[in-house]
Amino acid sequence: MSRSWHDLQSPATRASLYLRAASKRGISGDRLPDDGLRCFIPVQPGNLAAYRRLCHFTDDGRLPGTYPHIMAFTLQLQLMTAPGFPFPLLGLVHLHNRIEVLRPLGGIEGLRFAVYAHNLQAHAKGGTFDLVTEANDGIGLLWRETSRMLVRGLKLEGEAGEPADVEPEPLPEATRWYADSDIGRRYAKVCGDYNPIHLSAASARLFGFPTAIAHGMWSKAMALAALRGHLPHSGYAFEVDFRKPVRLPSEMVLSASEAGPVGALRLDGHAGVLHMVGRWAPL
């Protein structure tokens, strides 16, 4: 498919994009746009330092593997709040996230990002699409992310499939952490994702949640930081499936395989609730 690219000097302001998001509540179509956005985005040292502190990454001279997601978040927001985008941002459910670190993320002052959506598929609860984000330096492709998003209530032709949630095998405990009641607000200040379901119990109840829930990408970042000794500096994929949301506050238990080229992880919470399963492998 031929994709039309829109090259930007900088993304729009987040405030304007959230106003767009708040004004769109219904599904307006069943086809994804054929265009994408591209933009060079510099690293902000203060934001990077805050992200490392919040997600427990050490400063080793390289960007954390999940940090390009933070850099590109406003560009992703702009794509999904554009007038031609058929699905409302509020209500999308993040089912799966895969990052690929193709080359070491060191010595980077900025990256040129490309963001687009494709692969619209029927699902038992509506439909899914993949939001793809690619980061390039002066040499070429450096990093890629694929986020699978669920659109509830979408009607599509074709067989509606929903993979069975297979219970993963037990794994040895790697570490545990406590997700306090304000982690959603603190992470939002760093990443820019001010979805009301993460900010307070009062705002989360407006969307059917009894308490605020943690950002899935915070949980993934915490897992990646804890398992950094299991992974090489580059040439790997790290992917997770988000299961049950983390209700705040809550204690998390991360279990994982031993260090090696291929491994698995799981994140459990109170009373045996499974929040996230994942895996890593060489590219």
Nearest to 247 by CA among 190, 188, 198: 198
Do 74 and 131 have their domain in common? yes
Do 171 and 102 have their domain in common? no
Do 144 and 172 have their domain in common? no
In tens, the pLDDT along 240-261 reads 999 999 999 999 999 999 988 9
CATH of the domain at 175: 3.10.129.10
Question: Which residues span the domain enclosing 192?
Answer: 166-283
Do 147 and 190 have their domain in common? no
Do 47 and 116 have their domain in common? yes
Single residue among 163, 183, 202 that ends a domain in this structure: 163
Q: Which of 37-46, 160-169, 195-204 has the lowest mean pLDDT?
A: 160-169
Do 155 and 171 have their domain in common? no
Helices (H), the chain: 14-23, 45-55, 67-80, 183-191, 201-205, 216-226
Residue type, 11: P
Do 220 and 242 have their domain in common? yes
The number of folded domains in the chain is 2
Do 152 and 170 have their domain in common? no
Single residue among 112, 144, 163 that ends a domain in this structure: 163
In tens, the pLDDT along 153-197 reads 999 987 676 666 777 889 999 999 999 999 999 999 999 999 999
